[in-house]
Amino acid sequence: MSTTSCFDNNASTYDTRNQKLALIKDCLHQLMRVIFSELNENSHILCIGAGTGTELLYLSETFPGYQFTAVEPSKPMLDICKERMSKAGFLNRCTFHNNYLETLSITSPYHGATSILVSQFILDKNARCNFFKRIYEKLYHNGILISADLSADISSSNYTRLLNTWIKLMNDYKHSNELYQ
């Protein structure tokens, strides 16, 4: 099953299933707020892998003058994103691109970009390098990229430890969630 079809099939439950990771999401959002606060008040931000729009909604609320371009290959995920942005009254500040980054044509560079939990799905080293190169090419000189991924060199001695830490974290959230249901 492709990554896109996996997200297509899970779009309607994606946000509910990931509520247990709210602390991580909130920390990432806080970092985005601090980092993007140095940009001009009318900046244009590229959100790659926009999903259901959680970060897009947060950034729209936080930076009322910003414009956004959301890139998301999963149509069901992007539909939820559009609906959320519409309900919040931010639809007019957004452009939506239902495809991959390499198919996005632009008329002017972006001031910043986000790629949160996206590139971890690009397993080929050259494809991963090209992904980041394409982002770089779409940014103004000195534009800001915020990227966060679950990524490690699987041949590294630290890989097993990092993977086990992530598994423990997921099990802890699962256990905590069951206690409060």
Tens of pLDDT, residues 48-92:
999 999 999 999 999 999 999 999 999 999 999 999 999 999 999
- The pLDDT confidence band at residue 43, using thresholds 50, 70 and 90, is very high
- Beta bridge pairs of residue 95: 69
Among residues 89, 103, 87, which one has the least CA distance to residue 4? Answer: 103
8 Å CB contact between 20 and 173: yes
Question: Is residue 47 predicted with pLDDT exceeding 50?
Answer: yes
Unique residue bearing structure tokens 């290959």: 73
Among residues 58, 63, 45, which one has the least CA distance to residue 115? Answer: 45
User: Residue 7 and residue 97: Cα distance in Å, rounded?
Assistant: 16
pLDDT digits (tens, 9 = 90+) for 94-149: 999 999 999 999 889 999 999 998 887 787 889 999 999 999 999 999 999 999 88
8 Å CB contact between 67 and 44: yes
Q: What value does the mean pLDDT take over residues 12-28?
A: 64
Among residues 29, 100, 111, 106, which one has the least CA distance to residue 71? Answer: 100
What is the reported pLDDT for 111?
98
Instruction: Determine phi and psi for 125, rounding to 5 degrees.
Output: -60, -45
Question: Is residue 177 predicted with pLDDT exceeding 50?
Answer: no
| 158: three-class secondary structure by DSSP | coil
Beta strand residue intervals within the chain, DSSP E: 44-48, 67-71, 94-97, 110-116, 139-148
User: Residue 95 and residue 68: Cα distance in Å, rounded?
Assistant: 6
Phi-psi label, residue 168: left if phi above 0, alpha if psi -120 to 50, beta otherwise: alpha
